[in-house]
Amino acid sequence: MRIRASETNPFRRPVVVTAGTIDRWYRTVEILGKWGHLDGAAGSHGFALGGGSGLEDGISAAFGVHVHCAPGVDLDEPFSEKVAAAEPKSSFSYIFAFNVLEHLFNPLHALLEASRLLPIVGHGGDARPRIFASVPRRSCILRYRGHFHEFDDYRWSALIARAGLEIVSEARFRVGHDLAFGIRPLTRYVTDRVCLYALRRA
């Protein structure tokens, strides 16, 4: 998919692949498999917020979902109609937002726009999780300059509720930090986690 859009957010940067990044990808696919929410999803289509990475390739290989990425889309601007027009033959059953929401100026807008790409929900909501997201969780004293937002449990819950979503499954895991001496390394080792969520529309 090629969609031309201006990049106006300095907090969105290319993925730097490290050993910790690859570990996070493997752990994410492993947990998604244990949850079982993507069982029977082979042949369906999903849309990944952001420019795409090896994680989307892993999901395609593990679950048979055709994951579409749009690296030129500005997620802080309306994008659902652009994506739908660029992929007129694809009906998206799933949305993947892995480690991207914390970089956006308005993550609520991105979630609402992404939800518009999913099939229309009838009365009573959607029983199956359709949105899978991950965000980093770290100590407030170790804010990362590349993140416009740092989500604690309260802010994440408020964001999800306002987006009309609810958590079905949740997992937290630590990757990429070896125990080392010093206040900052020790704090990161104790507090830093990747939080993975399966979300459904309420």
Q: At 157, which CATH number?
A: 3.40.50.150
Is 199 part of a structural domain of the chain?
no
Residues of the chain with pLDDT under 70: 1-16, 89, 121-125, 138-149, 176-191
77 lies in some domain: yes
Does a structural domain hold residue 111?
yes
Is beta strand 45-48 parallel, antiparallel or unpaired with respect to 193-201? Answer: unpaired
Spatial distance between the Cα atoms of 123 and 106, rounded to a whole number of angstroms: 28
**Are residues 92 and 120 in contact, defined by beta-carbon separation less than 8 angstroms?**
no
Q: Would you say 1 and 117 are in contact if contact means Cβ atoms under 8 Å apart?
A: no
Residue 9: inside a domain: no
The structural domain count of the chain equals 1
So what's the pLDDT on residue 87?
A: 80
Residue 154 lies in a domain: yes
Write down the pLDDT at residue 30: 95
pLDDT at 195: 93
Give the pLDDT of residue 187.
58
| pLDDT score, position 143 | 58
Task: Give the per-residue pLDDT at 27.
Answer: 92
Domain extent at residue 87: 19-192
Domain-embedded: residue 3: no
The verdict on residue 129 lying in a domain is: yes
Burial class from Cβ neighbours inside 10 Å (0-12, 13-18, 19+) for residue 169 reads middle
44 φ, ψ to 5°?
Answer: -80, 175
Which residues, in sequence order, are CB contacts of 190 under 8 Å at separation 6+?
none
Question: Is residue 11 a part of any domain in this protein?
Answer: no
pLDDT at residue 119, rounded to an integer: 85
